[in-house]
């Protein structure tokens, strides 16, 4: 009987879980990137068959559901000539229950820093990763929603209009989920199983 109850809780955890748990998104995706941004893209490099852009402010992805630890990876490139590269900051932002699951950058200030990507000079870019890590310590309990955002920085343009400091070029983000055997469930979802 105890095994049956645990199985029911696992099913209940999945009830209503329509949001994706993983993502792979690149700026040069022929079907279009899934992220939204505060600004238009500025090309950093495209000479090696991979596009690397930078942005002013943030880019963010639609909501994902936390089903267990995740590995978060970003593909970046640091260009050595003409400017000084700053890191790219990847943050996790818990979503408020009932909030739209769409992509948003507005009001997304105050995310939790999860990865600082320095970028490498390799022509095709460098993958940098963190994980598998539990998002519960970042305010995202199992079963709840969150989104990731990348935060870009740049200096104020000088008199000639040149920006001398900016974040490394960004190409791709990948989130790989490592689901846990036991998930959380709301009381509403458990009650729905016994109706």
Look at the pTM and tell me if it is higher than 0.85: no
pLDDT exceeds 70 at position 123: yes
pLDDT bin (cut points 50, 70, 90) of residue 180 is confident
Share above pLDDT 90 across residues of the chain, in percent, rounded to a whole number:
42
Average pLDDT of the chain to the nearest whole number: 80
pLDDT tens column, 84-120: 678 999 999 998 877 666 676 665 566 899 999 999 8
Fold classification of 19-181 (topology level): Jelly Rolls (2.60.120)
Distance (Å, rounded) from C-alpha 92 to C-alpha 108? 10
Q: What is the dihedral of CA 58, 59, 64, 67, to 10 degrees?
A: -60
């Amino acid at each position: 009987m105890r095994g049956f109850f645990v199985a029911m809780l696992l099913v209940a955890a999945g009830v209503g879980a329509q949001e994706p748990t993983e993502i792979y998104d690149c700026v040069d995706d022929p079907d279009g990137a899934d992220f939204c941004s505060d600004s238009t893209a500025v090309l950093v490099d495209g000479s090696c068959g991979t596009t690397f852009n930078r942005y002013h402010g943030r880019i963010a992805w639609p909501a994902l559901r936390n089903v267990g630890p995740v590995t978060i990876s970003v593909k970046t490139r640091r260009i050595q000539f003409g400017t000084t590269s700053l890191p790219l900051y990847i943050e996790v932002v818990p979503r408020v229950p009932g909030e739209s699951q769409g992509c948003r950058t507005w009001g997304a200030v105050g995310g939790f820093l999860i990865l600082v990507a320095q970028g490498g000079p390799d022509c095709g870019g460098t993958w940098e990763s963190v994980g598998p890590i539990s998002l519960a310590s970042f305010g995202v309990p199992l079963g709840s929603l969150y989104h990731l955002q990348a935060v870009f920085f740049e200096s104020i343009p000088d008199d000639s209009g040149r920006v001398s400091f900016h974040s490394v070029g960004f190409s791709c983000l990948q989130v790989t989920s490592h689901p846990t055997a036991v998930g959380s469930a709301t009381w509403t979802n458990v009650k729905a199983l016994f109706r």
